[in-house]
Amino acid sequence: MNRTALYSLLGLATLAVSWAAIIIRLADADPISTALYRMGFAALIIAPFALGGLRTGLRRISTSDRALLITSGIALGLHFACWISSLKYTSISNSVVIVATHPFFVAVAEAVFFKEKLTRNALFGMAVAFVGMVIIAGSDLELGSEHLLGDVLAFFGAVFAGLYLILGRKIRRNLDNRHYVFPVYLIATITLLAILFIFGSPIAGFSGKVWLLFFLLALIPTVIGHTTYNYLLKFVRAHIVAITILGEPIGATIFAALIFSEYPSPATYMGGSLILIGIFLALIKSKSDTTLKESA
């Protein structure tokens, strides 16, 4: 895959995931129920493309990789349970900015488990982006304990997202994308179903509008967005994918302003600009970082 195609796909995926918080807010349903049907519908959409050869594909990977596959699905389920719940308590901009800190967990995991050094370019870009996120999040710290709970939930959502990405990078080396994504989404659905019963969230009784929004949540940010990111994990290091996802807070904040009149503060403008600059710095001149496979 050449660099132009790579960055085009990264941009498409980022635009798609930027709609997640907006659709969730429009649905205004129980967070765990929303997360469940997001994953459940996504698994159903992908199933026709994934079932063929699935058993053969899973047999080709090691027992340890199959265990990591299960762990990845559980991590993804927990990520959505935490992050979607955070939107109930804090603003869209604050939630998506905090959950976007997962590149830092990915970077640490890559250094610890894969013994890979981050280039100065990537480190500086991440540092600039982090400053931007601190500026945005800091502007909301005065809003009270409920907002703090939302921030904490978004933080744990970031931790689980980082785990999901780093596990995906390892498994995708030996498993086709569709054969990776489908079982992971299915396991995430089962995980969320268990959480739903534990907390007593509703499993039915939603309006037609809400069901439609659940489906769109599965189709746009999940199947188009997350599945594209998973596909790219075979061609690019996980922290580069994770850094690109930092564009989600910018898109989500713009959409929130247009749809809900939830206008960003001056701090959001300043922090958002730094996030975009950080993404650019991390990606530019990063041929050795992205480990592209030109023959792929």
Percentage with pLDDT > 70 across the chain: 90
User: What is the tens place of the pLDDT at every residue in 26-63?
Assistant: 999 999 999 999 999 999 999 999 999 998 889 888 89
Please state the domain extents for the chain: 3-290
Instruction: Supply the pLDDT for residue 32.
Output: 97
Q: How many helices (H) and strands (E) does the chain have?
A: 16, 0
Q: What is the C-alpha separation between 179 and 256, in angstroms, rounded?
A: 34
User: What is the tens place of the pLDDT at every residue in 190-220?
Assistant: 999 999 999 999 999 999 999 999 999 999 9
Instruction: Supply the pLDDT for residue 21.
Output: 92
Half-sphere exposure of 222 (CA within 13 A, CB side): 33
Q: Is the Cα torsion angle 196, 197, 199, 204 positive or negative in sign?
A: positive
What distance, in Å, lies between the first and last C-alpha atoms of the chain?
5
Q: What is the C-alpha separation between 181 and 54, in angstroms, rounded?
A: 11
What one-character-per-residue DSSP string does 179-227 give?
A: HHHHHHHHHHHHHHHHHHHHHT--SS---HHHHHHHHHHIIIIIIIIIH
CA distances to 50, 150, 176, 183, 197 from 203, in Å = 26, 23, 32, 22, 9
Going by pLDDT thresholds of 50, 70 and 90, the confidence category of residue 239 is: low
Instruction: Supply the pLDDT for residue 253.
Output: 81
Task: With beta carbons less than 8 A apart as the criterion, state whether 84 and 31 touch.
Answer: yes
Instruction: Supply the pLDDT for residue 294.
Output: 37
Which amino acid, one-letter code, is at 224?
I
Going by pLDDT thresholds of 50, 70 and 90, the confidence category of residue 138 is: confident
Of 129-143, 156-170, 260-274, the range with the lowest mean pLDDT is 129-143
Task: Please give the model's pTM, rounded to 2 decimal places.
Answer: 0.83
